[in-house]
Amino acid sequence: MSTQRVCWTMAWCGLLLHPLAGCGTVKTSGTSRTGTEQLLLTNAWDSALARVDFRPLTGVPVYLDTTNASAVDQGWVVSSIRQAMLSQGVLLRSKPEQAQWIVEARVGVYGTDSSNWLLGIPQTTIPQTITGMPAGTIPEMSLVKKNDQQGTAKLAMFAYDRTSGQLVWNSGTMLAVATAKDMYVGGVGPIQSGTIRGGTDFVGIRLPMTSEGADPNSEMSTRSAPPFSTPPVRQVPANSDMDSFSP
């Protein structure tokens, strides 16, 4: 049974049981950034980075230039690039003058979006200007309420020869998304799904699904591949490490 079908089945059940329904809320964070936001961004980044093939760079001393790889999770972004390169056998150098090729990384997109959907009566403020009616606020009364969040990451990398300036490698542009969805039925919930959760939960209880983590509306499910899809590390002979490289 798909996630969408489960959600709508529970929606109908919620409507039938609405007179008995309670109220559910989610405390998203006590810190400046929510854990959901950070998972959306870093999972989308990992998915995009996992598609980069660094193997054409092996065997040559390389310096990684991350000047243009700026993002709110700077440490994670830069460190994950280094890990992916090392895992695929790239010979990294700490200084440009020690390298033959310079790899430049850049971040095009690194952010989140959200959308909300409500079936019912939204919260309404009654102004004092209406005669015979006191000012106040009518609380929200929802039959079904849904909140969708999406994290998007876009990256691109290229390498050039430090001496000649000639382009030697281009990763192409990698784009990936991660999703998080929260749904309330008759005030009961949340029913949580999305690629960062790897399944569907109802008030913290995992619902048995036949397609765990598969979200047909997302560009990439973070469960479809490990954080780094890497081939076996190439065994480079010691004399090709070029520690004494001089341009």
Q: What is the 3-state secondary structure of the chain?
A: CCHHHHHHHHHHHHHHCHHHCCCCCCCCCCCCCCHHHHHHHHHHHHHHHCCCCCHHHCCCEEEEEEEECCCCCHHHHHHHHHHHHHHCCCEEECCHHHCCEEEEEEEEEEEEEEEEEEEEECCEEECCCCCCCCCEEECCEEEEEEEEEEEEEEEEEEEEECCCCCEEEEEEEEEEEEEEEEEEECCEEEEEECCCCCCEEECCEEECCCCCCCCCCCCCCCCCCCCCCCCCCCCCCHHHCCCCCCC
Find out whether 191 and 10 touch, Cβ atoms under 8 Å: yes
Nearest-angstrom CA–CA distance, 25 and 86: 43
At position 89, the amino acid (one-letter code) is: G
What is the end-to-end Cα distance of the chain in Å, rounded? 61
pLDDT digit string, tens, across residues 181-230? 998 888 787 888 999 988 888 867 777 764 444 444 444 443 333 334 44
The pLDDT value given to residue 41: 97
**154 CB contacts (<8 Å, ≥6 apart)?**
48, 107, 108, 109, 110, 173, 174, 175
What are the extents of the domains in the chain? 3-15+36-229
Find out whether 38 and 73 touch, Cβ atoms under 8 Å: yes
- Pick 47 or 184 by higher pLDDT: 47
The pLDDT value given to residue 133: 64
What does the block give as tokens for 4?
């969408």
The pLDDT value given to residue 216: 40
The pLDDT value given to residue 233: 42
**pTM surpassing 0.85?**
no
Find out whether 116 and 165 touch, Cβ atoms under 8 Å: no
Name the band, by pLDDT with cuts 50, 70 and 90, for residue 237.
Answer: very low
Task: Report whether pLDDT(244) > 50.
Answer: no
- Pick 177 or 198 by higher pLDDT: 177
Task: Report whether pLDDT(172) > 80.
Answer: yes
Sign of the alpha-carbon torsion through 206, 47, 30, 184: negative
